[in-house]
Structure 1
Amino acid sequence: MALPIDSTTITHGIQLAVAPVFLLTAVSGMIGAVAGRLARIIDRARQVEDRARASSDAEFLARAYAELAELRTRGQLANGCIGLLTFCAFLIGTTIILLFLGETTDFQASRLAVFGFLAGVASFLLALVCFLAETLIATRLLNFHMLEHGRR
C-alpha cells in the first residue's frame, strides 16, 4: 500500500471524503441539542424527586411517580438517540477514512465505504425517530400539566 505523491489524486481523495463531513456537522449539532434536553430531563427528575420526598400527600406522590416514569422514558430515548448519533459519527468517520484510502492507495474499500455510509445514515434516521418520540412525550406531558391547571 504505497501512497502515491500525485497531488491530483490526493486532492480528489480529499474532495470525495469531504462530502460525508457535512453529515458529521449535523450529527454534532444533534448531539448538542439532545444532550441539552437530557440535562433538562435530569434536572426536572431531581426536582420532582425532591418534592416527592418532602410530601406525604398520596395524590401528589402518585402524580410525581407518573411524571418520573415519563421522565425516565424520555431519558432512555435521549440516551438511545445520543448512542445512535455517536455510532453514526463513528461510521461516517470510518467512511471518510475508507474513501480517502481507496482514492489514494491501492486499497479497495468502495463496498465498505458504501456500507459504512448507508449504515451511518440509517443510524442517524433512527436517532431522529428517538428524538421525535422524546419530544412527543415531552409535549404530551406539557399538555397534561396545562389541562391539570385549567389552562389551554
Structure 2
Amino acid sequence: MMNPSTLSDSIQLAVAPVFLLTAVAGMIGALTQRLARVIDRARVIHKEMGDASLSVSARTAYQDELMSIAKRGRFINVAMIFLVLCALMIGLTVLELFFAETTGGKLILSSFVLYTFVAGIGSFILALVSLLIEVLIASYSIRWKPHA
C-alpha cells in the first residue's frame, strides 16, 4: 500500500508542469482566434477579387495582401504545431513524474523525464518565436498613415 505522504508529494511534483499546460491552452485559444481572423479576411479578399470591375492596382494590392495573409497563416499553423507538441511533451512529463513517484515509492526518474520536459519547453519557445514572426508580419503589412 502506498504511503499517503508519498502520494501527496507525487501529486505536487506532477502538478507543477500543469501550469505550463494552462499557458499553452491560453495560447492555443489566442492562435485559434488569430487564424480565424486571417481566414475571414482571405475570404473577403477572394470575394472582392471576383469583381470584374476591379482595377489592376486594386487587384495587385489584394494579391499582395493575400500573400501576406498566407504567410501569417503558415506561421500561425507552425506555432500551433509547436504548442500541441509542447502540450504532449509536458503531459508525458507529468505522467512520468507521477508514475516514477508512485510505482517505486520514491522518486526514481528515467532520463525520459528530462528529454520530454526540455522538448516541451523548447516547443513552447519555438511557438512563441513563430507567434512573434506572425505578429510582425501583420504589423508591417498594414499602412499606419492615411493615404495622401
**TM-score of the aligned structures, taking structure 1 as reference length:** 0.90
| Partner Cα distance (1:105, 1:10) in 2 | 10
Q: What is the deviation of 1:10?
A: 0.9
Which runs of structure 1 show a deviation greater than 6 angstroms over 4 or more consecutive aligned residues?
none
| Partner Cα distance (1:7, 1:28) in 2 | 31
Q: Any unmatched runs of 5+ in structure 1?
A: none
**Letter in structure 1 aligned against 2:119:** A
- Describe the superposition over 1:38-66 as per-residue Cα deviations: whole angstroms up to 9, x where unpaired: 00000011111111111431111111111
| Partner Cα distance (1:83, 1:54) in 2 | 36
Q: Which residue of 2 aligns with 1:78?
A: 76
| Partner Cα distance (2:56, 2:144) in 1 | 21
Greater mean alpha carbon deviation, residues 129-138 or residues 108-117 = 108-117
Q: What is the deviation of 1:149?
A: 2.2
The 3-state SS of whatever aligns with 1:128 is: helix
Q: Any unmatched runs of 5+ in structure 2?
A: none
Identity %: 42
Q: What is the deviation of 1:109?
A: 3.8
- For the 8 Å contact 1:101–1:109, the answer to whether it is kept is no
2:57 equivalent among 56, 59, 77 = 59
| Partner Cα distance (1:148, 1:42) in 2 | 25
| Partner Cα distance (2:49, 2:72) in 1 | 19
Any residues of structure 2 matched to 1:19-34 within 5 Å, and which?
19-34=16-31
**TM-score of the aligned structures, taking structure 2 as reference length:** 0.92
